[in-house]
């Protein structure tokens, strides 16, 4: 295992410290436990938004803390849910009197710990609502998950819910828009290589030299099938068909197409994937009106990619386009 | 070799096509030869800026085409200089009557081909000036290079020169500001793993399981030394010392600190590097007033990172902060 780290035990702490040092205009960070909070939180009268989960998926979630997106992020140990304590700290830190939304990826540990935290802060009079992101169409009931997993579509939920909170929507309205995104977003991914969790020191699974895994989870959980490596266009077709069938996406739809790198994939490959996905969507009469290409929900140094499609309407497009200023996503300011 | 590609011969063509499909608001692309041009080029009365070089370093340079940065980018084959023809095409496409600046990384092939292209367009009455970026302090005279190599500091030259062109500076003034950045920016990198050029199909060099290369070039050219893997903090110290000694950067300086991923490095590692670099700079009385962390000048899927330090003043800070809208760098609009 070769990594640019010091003691594997300190990876998250030191990365969070570095994040705070790099972005003092956006966030303040605290340690033991690790929490990343917007510098201007709490914002009086506006809904706060907290997300979190295991580390190793950066820029998710800390990279999305800032005006127009998350109010705070709670990074757990690598691939391990944060405990309720830092979720409680983050929730209190961002409550401006209008309540707080928890955006939770659907993994058993995350669901449980966010629920416990919500109960604890509710007892102190802070109103908390939660939404569960479960955009991965690959498998139902997986390692760590009952139901579908939450993966890269989480970024779109966080951006659009963040825009709704920023414009002053009340908690019920922010919940409604987050649920609307969740109901319209679908994802599927592929892994070419495994990744190495620093404190484990060994690959989390193994793939033969000519083998890839279709439908991989963002922790290397099993997907749908292992197949021989194929040309990118054939792989894209395998990922896109279950996505399009699921909602379903149909002729006349306007969509946001996101091609997400798993952390170790060269950018040229992501654009080769985008090219084929755009070709398939065009054939089906589906129009790409917004796009996002890059490393947004990663699995450490895993090579691979995921494709996410979100069915847009005027409201969601407007909220997507609204100004955002975070370390990983920024426009309009 | 596992990659998300189709025929290795078509990697650049298909990636450029995908880039065009993903960012039709920013660029138009053409093929045979590949050129990426701002949709609104030429802008009458403003200096055009063209950069380019071998592919495989994305988002450099195509990801930086757009208002406030480059007018056009010319991607060659992977790790291979573009020929003069597409450089000529790009230069003509962006000439708005105020002349064109070529930003060239210091590699023998790039220097020669940009020079030839400049001569050809000069014969047609377009005024062209060139600047050579040579920010890599690791080695002098390397594979492919006489003198120092141009690496990640190129991004800062492109951003700041782009802002000068955008505000309406004439060609001489844009050249002057680009040269000012070049005179004040220094970089050094490290590789943990090699990368695989698609049409070669094999790693461009090899490193033992416990070995890293200090001072690596962005094509895997030899650096200063191969050493056993060390903790990240020790590696950062090895990279930062030659950078700081070279200019030199001194107590009281304000700097932009960039930590650049080589393509296959998890983001947590980049922030661990940033943390230590910030610590060292603070000890020396050097203040980080701007920062940039992410994959900006890559070597395909190479694992590793580079550190870049730019000595700022009010003019450079203002130009850095000026609005920019490209696929890979965006703020203020």
| pLDDT (0 to 100) of residue A155 | 98
Structure tokens of A233?
A: 């266009």
Provide the pLDDT confidence category of residue B249 given band limits of 50, 70 and 90: very high
> Which pLDDT value is given to residue B231?
98
Domain ranges of chain A: 12-183, 185-321
Q: Which CATH number describes the domain made up of A12-183?
A: 3.40.50.10440
Question: A185-321 has which fold?
Answer: Hypothetical Protein Tm841; Chain: A;domain 3 (3.30.1180)
Residue B233: asked if its preceding bond is cis (omega within 30°), the reply is no
State the virtual CA torsion across B107, B109, B110, B114 in degrees, nearest 10: 140
Phi-psi region of A173 (alpha: psi -120 to 50; beta: other; left: phi over 0): alpha
The pLDDT value given to residue B146: 87
Provide the token pair at A258. 């996101």
* B-chain residue closest to A302, CA distance: B264
Whether A136 contacts A188, CB under 8 Å: yes
CA distance A179 to A317: 15
For the stretch B250-268, pLDDT in tens is 999 999 999 999 999 999 9
Residues A132 and A103 sit within 8 Å (Cβ to Cβ): no
* Placement of tokens 């700041």 in the chain: B160
Mutate to test the interface with B, among A268, A274, A299 (most CBs of B within 10 A): A268
DSSP letter assigned to residue B67: T
Please give the Cα distance from B86 to B76 (Å, whole number).
Answer: 9
For residue A219, indicate whether it is catalytic.
yes
Q: Are A71 and A41 in contact (CB under 8 A)?
A: yes
DSSP state of A45: T
Once rounded to an integer, what is the mean pLDDT over residues B205-210? 93
Assign A316 to helix, strand or coil: helix
Q: For residue B143, is pLDDT > 90?
A: no
Q: Does the annotation mark B57 as catalytic?
A: yes
Burial of B23 (0-12, 13-18, 19+ CB in 10 A): buried
Task: Return d(Cα A51, Cα A42) in angstroms, integer.
Answer: 15
User: Per-residue pLDDT for B333 more than 80?
Assistant: no
Q: Which of B90, B164, B155, B154 is nearest to B128 (CA)?
A: B90
Q: Give the number of other CB atoms < 10 A from CB of residue B134.
A: 24
Which of B60-64, B83-87, B197-201 is the least confident region?
Answer: B197-201
| Contact at CB, B17 and A275, closer than 8 angstroms | yes
**B272 neighbourhood in chain A, CB within 8 Å:** 4-6, 11, 14-15, 18
Contact assessment for residue A259 and residue A307, using Cβ atoms and an 8 Å cutoff = yes
φ, ψ at A95 (rounded to 5°): -75, 115
Question: Are B232 and A6 a contacting pair at CB < 8 A?
Answer: yes
pLDDT band at B152 (very low <50, low <70, confident <90, very high): very high
Contact status, residue B183 vs residue B310, Cβ threshold 8 Å: no
- What does R_g of chain A's alpha carbons equal in angstroms? 19
**Average per-residue pLDDT in chain B?**
97
CA distances from A326 to A159, A225, A275, A332, B115 (A): 10, 36, 27, 11, 40
Does the N-terminal peptide bond of residue B248 adopt cis geometry, omega within 30 degrees of 0?
yes
Rounded to 10 deg, the angle between the A153-166 and A314-321 helix axes is 80
- Output the CATH code of domain B8-183+322-331: 3.40.50.10440
Q: How far B110 CA sits from the closest chain A CA (Å)?
A: 20
User: Which contiguous run of DSSP H or E holds residue A304?
Assistant: strand A304-311
pLDDT at A204: 86
Q: A177 Cβ partners below 8 Å, 6+ apart?
A: A160, A161, A164, A169, A315, A316, A319
Please provide residue A84's backbone torsions phi and psi, each rounded to the nearest 5 degrees. Answer: -60, -35
Chain A: closest CA distance from residue B72 (Å): 18
Look at residues B238, B249, B274, B130 and name the one whose alpha carbon lies nearest to residue B186. B249
Q: How many Cβ pairs within 8 Å bridge chains A and B?
A: 208
Q: Are A263 and A298 in contact (CB under 8 A)?
A: yes
**What pLDDT sits at residue A333?**
77
pLDDT per residue, tens digit, chain A (333 aa), is 899 999 999 999 999 999 999 999 999 999 999 999 999 999 999 999 999 999 999 999 999 999 999 999 999 999 999 999 999 999 999 999 999 999 999 999 999 999 999 999 999 999 999 999 999 999 988 888 889 999 999 999 999 999 999 999 999 999 999 999 999 999 999 999 999 999 999 998 999 999 999 999 999 999 999 999 999 999 999 999 999 999 999 999 999 999 999 999 999 999 999 999 999 999 999 999 999 999 999 999 999 999 999 999 999 999 999 999 999 999 997
What is the percent of chain B with per-residue pLDDT over 70, rounded to a whole number? 100
Q: Do B8-183+322-331 and B185-313 have matching folds?
A: no
Interface test with A, best of B18, B228, B286 (most A CBs within 10 A): B18
Task: Look up tokens 């569960």; give the residue.
Answer: A132
Q: Which of A198-207, B113-122, B157-166, B321-330 has the lowest mean pLDDT?
A: A198-207
Q: Which CATH number fits domain B185-313: 3.20.20.100, 3.30.1180.20, 3.30.830.10, 3.90.1150.10?
A: 3.30.1180.20
Is B27:B37 a contact under the CB 8 Å cutoff?
Answer: yes
- B59: closest chain A residue by CA: A267
Residues A266 and B300 sit within 8 Å (Cβ to Cβ): yes
């Amino acid at each position: 295992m070769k990594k640019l780290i010091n003691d594997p035990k300190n990876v998250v702490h030191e990365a969070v410290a570095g994040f705070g040092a790099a972005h003092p205009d956006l966030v303040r960070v605290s340690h033991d436990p690790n929490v990343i909070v917007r510098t201007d939180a709490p914002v009086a009268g506006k809904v706060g938004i907290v997300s979190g989960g295991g580390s190793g998926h950066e820029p998710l979630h800390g990279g999305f803390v800032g005006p127009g997106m998350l109010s705070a992020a709670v990074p757990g140990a690598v691939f391990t849910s944060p405990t309720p304590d830092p979720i409680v700290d983050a929730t209190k830190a961002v409550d401006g009197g209008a309540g707080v939304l928890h955006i939770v990826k659907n993994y058993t540990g995350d669901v449980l710990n966010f629920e416990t935290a919500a109960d604890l802060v509710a007892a102190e009079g802070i109103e908390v609502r939660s939404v569960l992101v479960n955009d991965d169409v690959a498998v139902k009931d997986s390692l760590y998950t009952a139901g579908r997993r939450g993966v890269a579509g989480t970024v779109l939920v966080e951006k659009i819910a963040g825009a709704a909170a920023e414009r002053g929507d009340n908690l019920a309205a922010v919940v409604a828009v987050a649920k609307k995104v969740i109901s319209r977003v679908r994802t599927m991914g592929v892994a070419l290589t495994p990744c190495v969790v620093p404190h484990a020191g060994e690959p989390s699974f193994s793939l033969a030299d000519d083998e890839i895994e279709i439908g991989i989870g963002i922790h290397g959980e099993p997907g749908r099938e292992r197949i021989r490596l194929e040309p990118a266009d054939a792989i894209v077709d395998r990922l896109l068909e279950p996505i399009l069938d699921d909602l379903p996406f149909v002729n006349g739809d306007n969509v946001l197409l996101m091609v997400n790198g798993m952390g170790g994939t060269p950018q040229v490959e992501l654009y080769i994937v985008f090219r084929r996905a755009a070709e398939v969507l065009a054939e089906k009469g589906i129009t790409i009106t917004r796009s996002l290409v890059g490393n947004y929900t990663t699995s450490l140094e895993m090579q691979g990619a995921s494709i996410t499609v979100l069915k847009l309407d005027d409201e969601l497009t407007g909220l997507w386009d609204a100004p955002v200023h975070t370390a990983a996503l920024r426009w309009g300011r």
